[in-house]
Amino acid sequence: METTLRGVGVSHGVAIGEVRHMGTAVLEPPAKRIPAEEAEREQGRARQAVDAVAADLNARGHLAGGEAQAVLEAQAMMAQDPELMADVDRRIAVGSSAERAVYDAFAAYRALLAGAGEYLAGRVADLDDVRNRIVARLLGVPMPGVPDSDEPYVLIARDLAPADTALLDPALVLGFVTEEGGPTSHSAILARALGVPAVVALPGAGELAEGTVIAVDGSTGEIFVEPSEAKRAEMESAAAARKAALSASTGPGATSDGHKVPLLANVGGPGDVPAAVEAGAEGVGLFRTEFLFLDDSKQAPSEEKQVAAYRAVLEAFPEGRVVVRVLDAGADKPLDFLTPADEPNPALGVRGLRTLLDHPDVLRTQLTALAKAAEGLPVYLEVMAPMVADRTDAKAFADACRAAGLQAKFGAMVEIPSAALRARSILQEVEFLSLGTNDLAQYTFAADRQVGAVSRLQDPWQPALLDLVALSADAAKAEGKSCGVCGEAAADPLLACVLTGLGVTSLSMGAASLPYVRATLAKYTLAQCERAAAAARAADSADEARLAAQAVLSGE
């Protein structure tokens, strides 16, 4: 009998297939004691296992590229954390085996993170994955992971570690469903990059029996268990129609009455450029430069290395717009040479622009490298600062850009509610705004983007978040300047129409989402988008806002 479940759709498309569960196992080693004379050997075993796991994570990152590379390289740094390794050595010295010492050291660190508050739940999940990989290697057993199968399937998991998500084979994994996670979790972001339909935050997903046939709608978040032939045909027909519409939609982004909305790509480096160009991106709306810095957490990349990486991206968009975000370090992207190790709450501490202003040499080198990379190119370079809180921040960044001789537009990211509330003041110092809806939602609702339990508050359809977008867009319009969105909200085709109606002047997203947004935007006039935006803001919840916008755009 067909039943319907609902989670949070995070990656477009339809997948119909049999359920296969992520392999799980309790990797808790026995608490046996070792003689003192074996301590040095055990410490060596532990270090070898840690180094091997870190190397594996880095290798997976290089294979996957893009978003996944930064996530996996951050996990590799976590594996080799000096404090953790010192604790492992200490535990071995008093009689623990290598595997038990690793298990207990990670458990202690995990407890510290969990005790610091829910905001670090996403990092705790990554920490568990690193621990399991090290312990599995020490025990000589396979790491639980993606199931072996010769036939395509729908993957079910409590959550997916970045190392597993990054290398999923779309030819075998038709789609995936997780109990945890949210619309901006690592799993969701990587699913969109892979083009795999995905639903997260589905309570009870683990109870779906192995081999059960389900149909996954990655747009609506609906899961149909044992779908009828009629339901299968309906979903497959809708998917085919959507694919045909995508193929027919080409050219610059615009509404049906010709209102231009440039559609740009989010990239992490040169490796993401081919997919963006192929998808018809009109430029880059967010170049995440921290990927370059994560290659080596001990020191900043040289000016020469930065110039080469920036120029490779700039050259791909001749006469296009490329918006570069300077280094956003801190919180879930710690760097040993920049990030304080003892912050009680890194997400609310010294991160983003605050970090760079504390290390002006790092900012100056990056801005100088960007200036050199753009020399002689016809590209329209724009450079923006992350985590701008007020006009003082904006002025400090603009002054640094001018001091570095940067011939570009200077902008500010709106990720903190204060920046949206005082956007017009900030625009006295910079020339454009770019809304990072992921962090803006996180700080508006005090809801960590990695925690499934608060995923409803991370929904970009939340009316309060739309109010902040409208405030920013209105301020930019009043000042005759631009205001784009580069957060994951821009990847939702229906929400893209609402954002356009709110006055947003450009949309930037992962390359895989560009065709969907282009095709949907082209179906409606600007006036329809404005009415949908007004209806969404008048709602009291994210679900009501989505339904209200749908009703307006469908003519109901």
Mean pLDDT split into 10-residue runs, the chain, 556 residues: 85 90 74 88 93 85 70 80 90 92 87 52 68 87 74 89 75 90 71 84 89 92 93 87 75 96 92 89 94 75 94 92 92 70 76 93 96 94 97 98 95 98 98 95 84 76 97 98 92 95 96 89 97 98 93 88
Q: What values do phi and psi take at 224, rounded to 5? A: -105, 115
Q: Please, are residues 517 and 489 in contact by the beta-carbon 8 Å criterion?
A: no
Residue 367 CA to residue 375 CA, distance in Å, equals: 13
Q: Report pLDDT for 120.
A: 45
Residues 6+ positions from 266 with CB-CB distance below 8 Å: 272, 284, 285, 286, 288, 486, 508, 509, 510
Q: Which residues pair with 215 in a beta bridge?
A: 16, 224
Residue 88 CA to residue 290 CA, distance in Å, equals: 30
Instruction: Give catalytic residue positions.
Output: 186, 486
Cα 213 from chain centre: 30
Q: What values do phi and psi take at 540, rounded to 5? A: -110, -5
The DSSP secondary structure of 55-91, one letter per residue, reads: HHHHHHHHHH-HHHHHHHHHHHHHHT-HHHHHHHHHH
The DSSP secondary structure of 240-267, one letter per residue, reads: HHHHHHHHH--SS-B-TT--B--EEEEE
Q: Single out the residue of 467, 357, 347, 473 nearest to residue 417, CA to CA.
A: 467
Q: Which residues pair with 508 in a beta bridge?
A: 264
The two beta strands, 8-11 and 198-200, are: antiparallel
Q: Report pLDDT for 116.
A: 45
The sheet carrying 213-217 orders its strands as 3-6, 222-225, 213-217, 14-21, 153-157, 173-178, 198-200, 8-11
Q: Report pLDDT for 15.
A: 93
Residue 361 CA to residue 431 CA, distance in Å, equals: 24
**CA distances for 500 relative to 100, 101, 405, 549, 554, angstroms:** 55, 54, 34, 12, 17
**Phi and psi based region of residue 397 (left: phi greater than 0; alpha: psi -120 to 50; beta: remaining):** alpha
Q: Report pLDDT for 117.
A: 43
Q: Single out the residue of 436, 439, 488 nearest to residue 331, CA to CA.
A: 439
Q: Single out the residue of 258, 241, 251 nearest to residue 280, CA to CA.
A: 251
Residue 201 CA to residue 448 CA, distance in Å, equals: 14
Residue 33 CA to residue 21 CA, distance in Å, equals: 35
Q: Report pLDDT for 296.
A: 63
Q: Please, are residues 205 and 225 in contact by the beta-carbon 8 Å criterion?
A: no
Q: Which residues pair with 214 in a beta bridge?
A: 17, 225
